[in-house]
């Protein structure tokens, strides 16, 4: 509880957290939350992990479609993103994202102890989803990965650039590695415009120290892949210029899971769920169908 008379903690946009749905993470930082609750008893819980430099708001369409299937969808803005507290798009250790995700998942499981749990993750959020599921390999009914960060783009992570990033990280960790050029992220100009004008997104350059955390996460995932045994769905565009599709192919081919599916979108850019309308609709159908197919037979609803 805040000290009596203390000023209320406010979001980066100046809104008191007492007026916003939120959780407080283990470092005392307020994380803005969103919930999409079905009208009737939920059949499952679905946690959505957004990517770097964005927030969980743009996942509303996916969440609404899952809510229509009587699934209880929830998400938060990761530390340093959107309406959550924290240094913008920076994190002391990638594990913070996984720890906070497990905290939110455990909170929702305590409220709905009998429901299966799914995770949906995009890009860096896909890396968070993978490492979260690896920490609790028996806890998730399924993991849906939309262009997950499993391997960095070889053009932005050449051996020389990685060497220089490691060197500069010790000297000028806040130096920018460059920003995300959204026109290479989606072929839908309206989606690019929406991203570019969304003030809750981070539009400046990504720091070297953050890039090092992304690379460390990629290294962790590479080590974990052979032991991955949980069910997963992988969706990736073969024209993704940010997260190399070879990472998804490698995960599909080298994981131990017996229940796994990969769907490659020819010509698809990185943000498949926000790519051209036919691709985005296909992604929505793939995600909702796969999760529905992975609901336990008895998951008709919670006990009345």
Ligand X SMILES: O=C(c1ccc2nc(C3CCCCC3)oc2c1)N1CC(N2CCN(c3ncccn3)CC2)C1
Residue with Cβ nearer ligand X (47 or 195): 195
Rounded least distance, CB 162 to ligand X, Å? 10
Q: Are 70 and 42 in contact (CB under 8 A)?
A: yes
- 26 close to 103: Cβ distance less than 8 angstroms: yes
Which is nearer to ligand X, 287 or 295 (by Cβ)?
287
Is 219 annotated in the active site? no
Site string for ligand X, 125-154 (x = CB under 6 A): ------------------------x-----
Q: Which of 20, 31, 52, 272 binds ligand X (CB under 6 A)?
A: 52
Of 176 and 289, which has the nearer Cβ to ligand X?
176
Q: Is 240 assigned a catalytic role?
A: yes
The reply to whether 77 sits near ligand X by the rule CB under 6 A is no
Distance, CA of 121 to CA of 123 (rounded, Å):
7
Active-site pick, 270, 273, 274, 294: 270
Q: Which of 50, 84, 209, 240 is catalytic?
A: 240
Give, as one character, the DSSP assignment of residue 115. Answer: S
186 binds ligand X (CB under 6 A): yes
**Minimum distance of ligand X from residue 120's CB (angstroms):** 13
Is 85 a binding residue for ligand X by CB under 6 A? The answer is no
**180 near ligand X, rule: CB under 6 A:** yes
Please provide the DSSP assignment of 137-190 as one string.
Answer: TTT-SEEEEES--SSB-TTTS-HHHHHHHHHHHHH-TTSB-----GGGT-S-HH
Asked if 75 interacts with ligand X (CB under 6 A), we say no
State yes or no: is 270 an active-site residue.
yes
Closer to ligand X by Cβ: residue 123 or 255: 123
Interaction of residue 271 with ligand X, rule CB under 6 A: yes
Subset of residues 202 to 231 that bind ligand X, contact rule: CB under 6 A: 206, 211, 214
Q: Is 182 in the site for ligand X (CB under 6 A)?
A: yes
Nearer to ligand X, 69 or 184 (CB): 184
Alpha helices, DSSP H only, in 85-123? 95-111
Tokens of 28: 């005392």
Q: Is 242 in the site for ligand X (CB under 6 A)?
A: yes
Structure tokens at 92: 């002391």
> Which residues touch 31 (CB under 8 Å, ≥6 apart)?
22, 23, 24, 25, 76, 77, 78, 79, 84, 85, 100, 104
Question: Binder to ligand X among 103, 156, 239, 288 (CB under 6 A)?
Answer: 156
Size of the site for ligand X (CB under 6 A): 24
Q: Are 94 and 217 in contact (CB under 8 A)?
A: yes
Q: In what order do the strands lie in the sheet with 30-36?
A: 22-24, 30-36, 71-76, 44-49, 117-122, 142-146, 232-237, 260-265
CA-CA distance, 133 to 127, in Å (whole number)?
Answer: 10
Other CB atoms within 10 A of residue 8 CB: 10
State the Cα torsion 196-198-200-201 to the nearest 10°: -20
| Site membership for ligand X, residue 185 (CB under 6 A) | yes
Task: Report the distance separating Cα 90 and Cα 208, nearest Å.
Answer: 9
Note the residues at the interface with ligand X (CB under 6 A).
51-54, 123-124, 149, 156, 177-178, 180, 182, 185-186, 191-192, 195, 206, 211, 214, 242-243, 271, 274
Which residue numbers are catalytic?
123, 240, 270
């Amino acid at each position: 509880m805040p000290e009596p008379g203390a000023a209320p903690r406010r979001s980066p946009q100046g809104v008191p957290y007492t007026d916003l749905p939120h959780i407080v993470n283990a470092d005392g930082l307020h994380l803005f939350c969103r919930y999409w609750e079905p009208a009737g008893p939920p059949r499952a819980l679905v946690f959505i992990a957004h990517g770097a430099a964005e927030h969980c708001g743009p996942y509303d369409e996916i969440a609404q479609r899952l809510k229509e299937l009587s699934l209880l969808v929830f998400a938060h803005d990761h530390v340093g993103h959107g309406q959550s507290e924290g240094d913008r798009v920076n994190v002391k250790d990638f594990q913070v994202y996984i720890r906070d995700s497990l905290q939110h998942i455990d909170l929702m499981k305590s409220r709905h102890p009998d429901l299966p749990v799914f995770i949906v993750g995009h890009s860096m959020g896909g890396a968070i989803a993978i490492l979260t599921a690896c920490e609790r390999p028996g806890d998730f009914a399924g993991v849906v990965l939309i262009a997950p960060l499993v391997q960095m783009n070889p053009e932005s992570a050449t051996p020389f650039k990685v060497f220089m990033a490691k060197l500069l990280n010790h000297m000028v960790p806040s130096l920018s590695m460059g920003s995300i050029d959204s026109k290479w992220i989606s072929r839908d100009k309206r989606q690019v415009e929406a991203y570019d004008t969304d003030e809750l997104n981070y539009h400046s350059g990504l720091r070297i120290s953050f890039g090092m955390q992304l690379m460390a996460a990629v290294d962790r995932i590479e080590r974990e892949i052979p032991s991955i045994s949980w069910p997963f769905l992988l969706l990736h565009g073969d024209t993704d210029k940010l997260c190399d599709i070879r990472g998804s192919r490698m995960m599909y081919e080298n994981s131990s899971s017996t229940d796994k599916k990969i769907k490659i979108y020819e010509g698809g850019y990185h943000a498949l769920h926000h790519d051209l309308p036919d691709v985005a609709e296909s992604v929505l159908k793939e995600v909702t169908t796969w999760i529905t197919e992975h609901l336990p037979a008895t998951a008709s609803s919670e006990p009345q």
